[in-house]
Amino acid sequence: MFYFDSYYLILVLPAIVISLIAQAKVSSTYKKYSQVMSREAKTSTEVARAILDANGLYAVKVEAVSGTLSDHYDPRANVIRLSDSVRSDVSVASIGVAAHEVGHAIQHAQGYAPIKVRNAILPVANIGSHLSIPLIIAGIILSVEPLVTVGILAFAAVLLFQLVTLPVEFNASTRALKTLEDRGILYGDELIGAKKVLSAAAMTYVAAALTSLMQLIRLILISRDRD
């Protein structure tokens, strides 16, 4: 079958297992350091606001969003949204997450090149994520090779987006940790805890990119086997 061929078992399935491990690592690391309160006892919302103001980003709002670890920066609305479990929390885990999202806001404000590239690729990647597999399946069933090729290229756009996302995420975490240390928001072991949380989160992006890479290789091999 197309979805459960030997390439899937050899290439994709191991990458999916790695992704699941990465997700579990994020959950366990966040849970551990969400129980470690910062000495400054500032909420994540207060920390986010202070860092934004220190960088002159007074127009960027900090709002609430439902869910668990659904925190994100929305450049279109110019808003940082902090989840229920994060926004009023004073743990080093939540403060690290909030500072990371502020890092994205600073990236946008400073014209950080990788985030510009990622935004440019996003529309194509969105299309590719929805149409790539249907195009490939249709091409195989109908024996229309151009459809298969277009589908593979569409999926490659998804992988490219994920690869460009990696430096964006790592840079946001680096900015966050440096700011937390320089401004004395977190100290010593607190900073180490925040770093572990952000590092675990970053590994989920690496795992996702690896899964997409293995899937792309699989699709190419399937296409070649038909020649």
Q: Would you state the pLDDT for residue 3?
A: 52
Would 86 be classed as within a structural domain? yes
Domain that holds residue 134: 6-225
Would 77 be classed as within a structural domain? yes
Q: Would you state the pLDDT for residue 141?
A: 87
Q: Which of 40, 46, 63, 101 is catalytic?
A: 101
pLDDT digits 0-9 by tens, 7-29: 999 999 999 999 999 999 999 99
pTM for the model stands at 0.90
pLDDT digits 0-9 by tens, 123-177: 999 999 999 999 998 998 888 999 999 999 999 999 999 999 999 999 999 999 9
Three-state SS string over the chain comes to CCCCCHHHHHHHHHHHHHHHHHHHHHHHHHHHHCCCECCCCCCHHHHHHHHHHHCCCCCCEEEEECCCCCCEEECCCCEEEEECCCCCCCEHHHHHHHHHHHHHHHHHHHCCHHHHHHHHHHHHHHHHHHHHHHHHHHHHHHCCHHHHHHHHHHHHHHHHHHHHHHHHHHHHHHHHHHHHHHCCCCCHHHHHHHHHHHHHHHHHHHHHHHHHHHHHHHHHHHHHHCC
pLDDT class of 1 with cuts at 50, 70, 90:
very low
Q: Would you state the pLDDT for residue 68?
A: 85
63 belongs to the catalytic site = no
Would 1 be classed as within a structural domain? no
Would 173 be classed as within a structural domain? yes
Q: Total domain count for the chain?
A: 1
Would 28 be classed as within a structural domain? yes
Would 137 be classed as within a structural domain? yes
User: Is residue 114 over pLDDT 90?
Assistant: yes
